[in-house]
Amino acid sequence: MDTQLDAITTIFTEFYYWVTIPLMFLIHVGFCMYEVGASRRRNHMHTLMKNSMIIPLVTITFFFFGWWLYWALPNGPFITGGIEWEAASANSPLSNTMATNLEDRITGVFWAAFLLFSWTAASIVSGAVIERINSGAFWILAVVIGSGAWVIDAAWGWHPQGWMVRVLGYHDAYASGVIHAIAGGFALGVLLVLGPRLGKFGADGSIRNILPHNPWMVAVGLFIIYTGFWGFYVACNIPLISPEAIGGQITGETWTATTIYLTPTTLGAITFNFLMSLSGGMLVAFMVSKGDAFWTYSGGLAGIICASAGNDLYHPIQAMLVGCCGAFIAYRMHHWVERTFRIDDAVGAVAVHGYAGFAGLVIAGFLLWGHPAGAYEGFASINPVGQFLGAVIMFGVLGFLPGFVVAKVLSAFGLLRIPREIELMGLDFQDMQTQREAEIEVRSAKQQLV
């Protein structure tokens, strides 16, 4: 009976994670549509290809070293222990588990689910920097966050034995900080070096609102991101685990779903709280933006992100109210930072993901104060100080700092930003020029044949 149950569990778990992958793929489709819709006509193909090439670059680098980092560094290292060589070697690119085999059915799909999180982190940065960044520079930045920085923060704060969970009581069930705050902080670091789009700010300091080229595409892109977030949330869970698998909270005889921390949860909790936080975010964003469509849809996303840290434990009404806070904070902070520091975040990515994610972690520290952060005995419980320190680590230490430093290095070599004249003509200019020359050659050849 145990063998049959184990077989069924394995097959179900394999299929469970496999289904999350195409759902999360929709997040990337949505980001591509969202960014192209927000950019102007002369930058469409550059915007699309800049984001699309995240897929091969981050996939390959995540396979070769990103996945290894997650398993190697839950202890820091040297905060609660050393490098986890044994666990890491089982997930290295040359290990048997990272290749076709019938003995391990789970690693491939679990790896792919984490990979789609990596794409998401890089795509968040992509939207903030449209219309002025050099593609090659962005791809370097995408690898740094997608296969480096966010994986380290996942090892620290999203591993069931991560040192932040054990020492700080850090809890971030659906990645308010682990993906969103770090990506927002990283984007802010890059933007500080990259500078605003030409014409965004007047000589007198006035702010020019550069409207999306295609608001409909932006709206549809955001709705597709909402859809993909269902896969995102589900992939943050482990579908079935036996009570004897761990020696912590899971007791009794009932198999259960768990969060990434191995604490019990249900898909019902996700369903209630996802929809309530989305709704709270959209309502408040509609009100504070006075009906602006761009910020209404973005506010829904900010609501989800803000509530995500505690959406495994919140009551649906709490999730709604936290979502309301996330949208309000994102909208107000975006415009205050833009006005005060002349930061040109083209799609509000820093606000929607970074500020809302940071706030969500802090709010969870108060609302969930005293609740166990993980499934094992001896771990710190959730608390405001631990959540605040975790937010600083995610947004600042692993987000803003690497983004700023790498952008500074790229800028020093003249690689970060496209030339001014190309930005004025549009980043698609070179491709358009090549196409025109090809058309001229074809017409010339046809005339010669005649």
Backbone φ, ψ for residue 445 (5° rounding): -65, -40
- From CA 47, how far away is CA 69, in angstroms rounded? 30
- Rounded to two decimals, the pTM is 0.94
Within 10 Å of residue 314's Cβ, how many Cβ atoms?
26
Cβ proximity of 99 and 107 under 8 Å: no
The amino acid present at 450, given as its one-letter code, is: V
Q: Residue 448 — very low, low, confident or very high, per pLDDT cuts 50/70/90?
A: low
* Predicted confidence (pLDDT) per residue in 17-30, tens digit: 999 999 999 999 99
Measured distance CA(326)–CA(36) in Å, rounded: 25
Evaluate the omega torsion of the peptide bond into residue 402 and state whether it is cis, within 30 degrees of 0. Answer: no
Contact 210, 346 (CB under 8 A): yes
Q: What backbone torsions phi and psi does residue 277 show, to the nearest 5 degrees?
A: -70, -35
Alpha helix locations (H) across 289-343? 293-307, 316-341
Q: Is the dihedral of CA 179, 180, 183, 185 positive or negative?
A: negative
Distance in angstroms (rounded) separating the CA atoms of residues 227 and 229: 5
Q: What is the pLDDT of residues 261-313, one digit of tens each?
A: 988 888 999 999 999 999 999 999 999 999 999 999 999 999 999 999 999 99
Rounded-to-integer distance, Cα 10 and Cα 105, Å: 7
| Closest to 144 (Cα-Cα) out of 401, 427, 356, 417 | 401
For the stretch 81-94, pLDDT in tens is 999 999 999 999 99
